[in-house]
Structure 1
Amino acid sequence: MNDYILLPETSVKTVCESDVVVGGGGIAGISAALAAARNGAKVLLVEKGCLLGGLATLGLIAIYLPLCDGLGHQVSFGIAEELLKLSIRHFAEGEYPDAWIGNGREEERKAVRYKVQFNPHMFALEAESLLQAEGVKILYDTKICQAVVKENRITHLIIENKGGRQAISAKSFVDATGDAEICYLAGEETKEFEKKNVLANWYYFFSKGKIDLERLGFAEMSDDEVLNAENDETVESGEQISDIKYGGVDGEEISQMLCDGHAQMLKKILAKRQNDPTYVPVTSPTMPQLRMIRRIVGKYTMDRQEANKDFDTGIGCIGHWRKKGPVYAIPFETLYGNKIQNLITAGRCISVTDDMWDITRVIPACAVTGEAAGTAAAMSSNFSASDISSLREMLKKQGVKLTIHEVNIKEYI
């Protein structure tokens, strides 16, 4: 049907005025809110779910991928490392990086990536406690519906929750939604992921006296696979449970993806129970496990071929989680676009090519770009005119290493 209805105009009350509004409470949003608050900003974080962490917690993708290059060098620092340690404050579920956290020798670090499997529920609770301690206001169960734009600036976001439709305002806005939702609503140029997403439905199960994570469908690569990879192919790991791929910007399609995932989960559980009657599900994801959806078309679009290249505007470094060796220094211009002055992105919606997207969508990159975006948002409300030198100095004070030279990787200098 193509019928349209005309709704009556209504007034919307502004319920919150902040210095910085962060849209999305995943790892990028947590990092951005944390950085902005620590730099003196009044911060509101808007999250459509009911826990922080996004895919890492609500999506049960509970793998904190590497902060290193696979050759024994740490490349991501600052909040990226702080959150890894926070995720296992009480215990780790697997792949504990003792060689890194326990100050192991360089040879020991070459043998294992600086990564960990964490408990998503504990991580979400600890992240909430941390943000509240820093004065961040969190608005859960709230959908961002519209952006009000005047003279190339967002003045308000229209939100909806149990209190109805309301408006929130800020000087600066951080889009950490994972699908560039604020960018799209504000009229900033965006691009969808052309290859789309394979089906996955990770879940926790109980069997024979213990709880474990079932990585059903698409899975991140193991240490052995990563350390032995010699090419840049972004091959998918794990069993393929469907030939269908999903874009992630259509409500009916997302609903179908969730139903498809649930059906595969039930099939897996029933098959497991034939040989193990103790096998039962414990929890399932409460958001679709979509990795790459939509991103900003930024001032600069970074490509996978720019490995081991420094930028004068670099705001932090990440490794290649699928392969040992490459290091990427991310330029600030990948975080903002060409239209909306006071809007900056972080995490899965920064400006990168499709090939690079698979590298920057994971937790370390989300934390690195989130810290940079939040710091910038606390310092400026016009990102194309930001004082990049001052921003970089502030990030350095926060423990971030901005360039490949700074991480002292002699092989690349």
Structure 2
Amino acid sequence: MKVTVVGGGSTYTPELVDGISRLRSVLDISELWLVDPAQDRLKLVGGISQRILDHAGHPGRIHTTSDLEAGVADADVVLIQLRIGGQRARQGDETWPHEACCIGQETTGPGGLAKALRTVPAVLRVAEAVRKHARPDAWIVDFTNPVGIVTRALLEAGHRAVGLCNVAIGFQRKFAQMLGVDSSSVSLAHLGLNHLSWERGVLVDGEDVLPRLLTDRLQELADQVHLPGSLLTLQGAVPSYYLRYFYAHDEVLAEQLREGTRAEAVMAVEAALLEKYADPTVVTKPEELASRGGAYYSEAAVDLMASLISDRGDVQVVNLRNNGAMPFLPDDQVIEVPARIGAQGLQIQPVGEIPEEMAGLISGVARYERLALDAALYSTPADGRDRVVRALLAHPLVGQFDRAEKLADLLLAANRDHLAWAR
């Protein structure tokens, strides 16, 4: 089968290739096409990717191209992992919100809105090429943040798409390690939106062991997500570490003002990785890749692609249309929950009753996401700023009108080169 990675010049890509090489029995890929406009990075990433496959005895071939149509032609699966504006734009997302006393983060809050505005139009252009040139039954797997908003854009445009994030698989592996069991025996009652989720159950061979973990390993779990153990006890759940931006906003903001940005750290890691990728003697993924982020991304992606193609019918945590699963949300809202994965589609598993404080936060962020997507899709020079202000005003981390206006102006000043309607 042919798999295409759009954004294949990312330093993430060898992580995916490592997973493909190790999990050949799960997903047998004959061609992996890496598409990216950055020819210098593409050459380095393509080179080490082929060496990883060769070293593992995998017969698959790596192809690199800057031609999107050629890259997606006759593909069975297209995985999208774009970062419009690169790490420099991320650096902005993580800093200019500070001027309005808001957190700076690339997927949550004002920075997340900026990323959505830059990203949605680009992803939809890629998806149209997939519609025209890939196999008629090809799947699009979106790993591009903000995953919930981007996946919703793809689905509303009629594409055969599903969103993927590595938060759930990271929790699954952590719980398995804590319990001393194989990760394949652990399943999660994962609930929420992308980057706004909780683990409300940890099932090992059908038994929910989360109550025991919240008693016996409470401090370890609290340290993992950098939130108070009393919060986990109150909710009877383990929140994603992204909930810290909501539950401890002022503390996080103070930390950000004291410390360097994640973008700066990633740029340093990427420079070291690209140097390693250029070394023809390097035939396995470098250790530095663990610092790049995206832990277990390869396993999550390979498992999802295998189930979409071979109709395994297993349950995985993905981003897909709500379709009544959370009755307080519109059907077209994209949620992040376990679903049974098959070649014909995705079947959401029952999510159960949702505590009011979780439902309230989910509802608020979902309404922000609708306004954010509208701003990304429909903004014009005449109304774009107003759409941005409305989206910010709806976000639980902003709320105040004067702050929303200031943030809108900061966002537009930092992103004018990436927003055609704002130039």
Please tell me the TM-score bracket, short chain as reference: under 0.3
> TM-score under structure 2 normalisation?
0.24
| Higher fraction of helix | 2
Higher RCO (CA < 8 A, seq sep 6+): 1
> TM-score under structure 1 normalisation?
0.25
